[in-house]
């Protein structure tokens, strides 16, 4: 995981100039211990239950995951 830039840095505002809502949402989730823990648990589930766990996670956090073909 990338190191977070200090909010005191003169570059801090520049980082977020081009962020849209999805970027801010991703940044929030990346820093959320509750989300990170829930995501790790869903990914660690047995293969037979993983899809259902990820669907539950998505519903709880209001997420949409792209399906791979």
Q: Does 5 reside within a domain? A: no
Q: Does 29 reside within a domain? A: yes
Q: For 2-17, what is the mean pLDDT?
A: 75
Q: Does 2 reside within a domain? A: no
> How many independent structural domains does the chain possess?
1
Q: Does 1 reside within a domain? A: no
Domain with 55 in it: 12-61
Q: Does 33 reside within a domain? A: yes
Q: Does 18 reside within a domain? A: yes
Q: Is this prediction's pTM over 0.75?
A: no
- Give the tens place of pLDDT for each residue, 23-56: 889 889 999 999 999 999 999 999 999 999 999 9
* 3-state helix/strand/coil string of the chain: CCCCCCCCCCCHHHHHCCCCHHHHHHHHHHHCHHHHHHHHHHHHCCHHHHHHHHHHHHHHHCCCCCCCC
Decide: residue 10, CB within 10 A, 0-12 exposed, 13-18 middle, 19+ buried.
exposed
Q: How far is CA 43 from the centre of its chain?
A: 13
């Amino acid at each position: 995981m990338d190191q977070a830039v200090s909010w005191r840095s003169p570059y801090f505002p520049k980082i977020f100039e081009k962020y849209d809502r999805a970027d801010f949402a991703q940044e929030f989730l990346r820093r959320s211990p509750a989300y990170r823990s829930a995501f790790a648990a869903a990914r660690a589930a047995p293969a037979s239950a993983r899809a259902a766990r990820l669907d539950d996670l998505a519903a709880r956090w209001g997420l949409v995951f792209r399906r791979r073909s």
